[in-house]
Structure 1
Amino acid sequence: MTLAQPPRVGVAVIVRRGNTVLLGKRRSTSHGDGVWQFPGGHLEWGESVFDCARREVLEETGLVVAVEGQGPYTNDVFEAEGKHYVTLFVLARSDAGEPQRCEPDKCDEWRWCTWDALPEPLFLPIQHLLEQMPALRNVPSPP
């Protein structure tokens, strides 16, 4: 049996605005094509998780975010593709501006969504996040 590559660290940023979170429809030739994901990417050598979160959101959407803290993590094995990620979630807030498709070869669109109406299909790390924390789908909207 041939072993796949060692696990990589992914950073997924839960960008919140009011009662919504930002999701993008993924374009990828390696894994997860056509699924909805949070902005994010690979943690680079020597980079802090929060710096990675700010960098990835800016590179992908053009938005500047305020990091509010760390979230949970998921263990994500993409069997068919032979990829294994540990995904670190970061909580962030965006108070102004609209997301742009700064990397159109990687994302078809960005959309603000409520937790109880997330588009499908969802990227594997988000599926695992919701399995760990099913109450997220029931976060009430502010009055």
Structure 2
Amino acid sequence: MGREPRVGVGVLIFRGENVLVGRRLGAHGRGEFALPGGHLEFGESWEDCAKREVLEETGLQLSNLRFETAVNSVFGEAAHYVTIFMRGDADEAAEARVLEPDKCEEWIWVPWHDIPRPIFFPLQLLQESDYEPIKWKIDP
């Protein structure tokens, strides 16, 4: 990998005040809790990336996708990511499933301010910012 920043897309999916997070299993952020998401592919829209990654990882179909915010994450000398945070709605009756067991151990719904530690760096930066998901909530 070159020294250029990469683009990641993290997806905020809420049920009430709970957000969906999973425990990462890959080499980058292993054991840390993160949102579903992944790398933006060449020519892909942020919305399409969010839908694709969430479907591949959890089986959830998203609707009402919208941009929330972005963070600049520099992981020391290891990596540099710009992470785009999208927000989407999933059917209340649908359950998140672990569809990529080599990448994620489990999916859990937790209160926004009580995401278990350790937290994946881009999500940590989002939590430490002035971002408050509840004030941005759009009722269907």
TM-score of the aligned structures, taking structure 2 as reference length: 0.88
Q: Secondary structure at the match of 1:112?
A: strand
Match of 2:4 in 1: 6
Gaps of at least 5 residues in structure 2 are none
Alignment partner of 1:127 is 2:124? yes
Paired with 1:135 and 1:70, the residues of 2 have a C-alpha distance of 14
Larger radius of gyration between Structure 1 and Structure 2? 1
Match of 1:88 in 2: 84
Question: Once the two structures are superposed, what CA deviation does each residue of 1:18-76 show, in whole Å capped at 9, x if it has no partner?
Answer: 221100000112x1110000000000011100000000000000110113310110000
Q: Percent identity?
A: 47
User: Equivalences for 1:93-104 in 2 at 5 Å?
Assistant: 93-95=89-91, 96-104=93-101
Paired with 2:104 and 2:44, the residues of 1 have a C-alpha distance of 24
TM-score of the aligned structures, taking structure 1 as reference length: 0.87
Paired with 2:117 and 2:134, the residues of 1 have a C-alpha distance of 13
Paired with 1:105 and 1:28, the residues of 2 have a C-alpha distance of 7
Tell which deviates more after alignment, 95-104 or 84-93: 95-104
The amino acid that maps onto 2:54 is V
Does the aligned pair in 2 maintain the 1:68–1:92 contact within 8 Å? yes
Paired with 1:84 and 1:10, the residues of 2 have a C-alpha distance of 10
Does the aligned pair in 2 maintain the 1:115–1:138 contact within 8 Å? no
Paired with 1:67 and 1:89, the residues of 2 have a C-alpha distance of 14
Does the aligned pair in 2 maintain the 1:10–1:87 contact within 8 Å? yes
Structure 1 residue 17 displacement after superposition? 1.7
How many matched pairs? 134
Poorly superposed stretches of 4+, deviation over 3 Å: 134-139
Paired with 1:27 and 1:109, the residues of 2 have a C-alpha distance of 10
Match of 1:24 in 2: 22
After superposition, the CA RMSD in angstroms is 1.9
Match of 2:114 in 1: 117
Structure 1 residue 135 displacement after superposition? 4.4
Paired with 1:91 and 1:135, the residues of 2 have a C-alpha distance of 13
Gaps of at least 5 residues in structure 1 are none
Q: Secondary structure at the match of 2:20?
A: strand
Does the aligned pair in 2 maintain the 1:54–1:67 contact within 8 Å? no
Match of 2:52 in 1: 55
Paired with 1:20 and 1:90, the residues of 2 have a C-alpha distance of 16
Q: Secondary structure at the match of 2:108?
A: strand
Paired with 1:11 and 1:85, the residues of 2 have a C-alpha distance of 10
